[in-house]
Amino acid sequence: MSSNTSLPMDRLDVALGERSYPIHIGAGLLSSPEHLVAHLAGRQVMIVTNDVVAPLYLPALKETLNARDFDVREVILPDGEPTKTLASVERIWDALLAAGFNRRCTLIALGGGVIGDMAGFAAASYQRGVAFVQVPTTLLAQVDSSVGGKTGVNHPRGKNMIGAFWQPKAVIVDTDTLATLPARELSAGLAEVIKYGLIRDAAFLDWLEANMTALRALDGGAIRHAILRSCEIKAEVVAEDETEQGVRATLNLGHTFGHAIEAHQGYGNWLHGEAVGAGTMMAVRLSADRGWLSEADVERVAGVLEAAALPTVAPANMSAADFLERMRLDKKNLDDRVRLILLESLGQACIRDDTPADQLDRLLRDFSRR
Ligand X SMILES: O=C(O)C(=O)C[C@@H](O)[C@H](O)[C@H](O)COP(=O)(O)O
The residues assigned a catalytic role are 128, 150, 192, 234, 244, 248, 252, 255, 259, 272
Residue 254 binds ligand X, judged by CB under 6 A: no
Minimum distance of ligand NAD from residue 362's CB (angstroms): 28
Cα–Cα distance for residue pair 355/353, rounded to 1 Å:
6
User: What distance lies between CA 297 and its chain's CA centroid?
Assistant: 25
Choice between 204 and 292, CB closer to ligand NAD: 204
Q: Does 159 carry a binding-site annotation?
A: yes
Which range of residues in 59-67, 127-135, 144-152, 298-306 is near ligand X by CB under 6 A?
144-152
Cβ-Cβ contacts under 8 Å for 356 (sequence gap 6 or more): none
The verdict on whether residue 155 carries a ligand-binding annotation is no
CA 147 to CA 6: how far, in whole Å?
25
C-alpha–C-alpha distance, residues 63 and 45, integer Å: 13
Which DSSP string do the residues of 122-174 spell out, in sequence order? HHHHGGG--EEEEEE-SHHIIIIITSS-EEEEEETTEEEEEEEE---SEEEEE
> Which one, 174 or 289, has the nearer CB to ligand NAD?
174
Q: Which parts of 255-294 interact with ligand X (CB under 6 A)?
A: 255
Q: Which CB atom, from 27 or from 188, has the smaller least distance to ligand X?
A: 188
Alpha-carbon distance 230 to 236, whole Å? 10
Which helix (H) or strand (E) segment is 67 a member of? Answer: helix 53-67
CB atoms within 10 A of CB 278: 24
> What gap in Å lies between CA 210 and CA 237, rounded to an integer?
25
> Under the criterion CB under 6 A, does residue 81 sit at the interface with ligand X?
no
Should residue 91 be labelled a site residue for ligand X when binding is judged by CB under 6 A? no
Nearest to 159 by CA among 248, 270, 237: 270
Residue 322 is a binding residue for ligand X (CB under 6 A): no
Phi-psi region of 80 (alpha: psi -120 to 50; beta: other; left: phi over 0): left
Binding site for ligand NAD (CB under 6 A): 50, 52-53, 56, 79-81, 84, 111-115, 117, 137-138, 140-141, 144-145, 148, 150, 159-160, 177, 180-181, 185, 188, 272-273
**199, interface contact from ligand NAD, ligand X, none, CB < 5-8 Å by kind:** none
Return the number of the residue (40 or 343) whose C-beta is nearest ligand X. 343
Q: Looking at 91, 159, 200, 285, which residue binds ligand X (CB under 6 A)?
A: 159
Q: How far is the CB of 54 from ligand NAD (least distance, A)?
A: 9
Residue 331 site contact among ligand NAD, ligand X, none (CB < 5 to 8 Å, cut-off depends on kind): ligand X
Interface map 163-192 toward ligand X (x if CB under 6 A): -----------------------------x
- 115 appears as a binding residue in the annotation: yes
How many angstroms separate the CA atoms of 237 and 114, rounded? 22
| Residues making contact with ligand X (CB under 6 A) | 144, 148, 150, 159-160, 192, 244, 248, 251-252, 255, 331
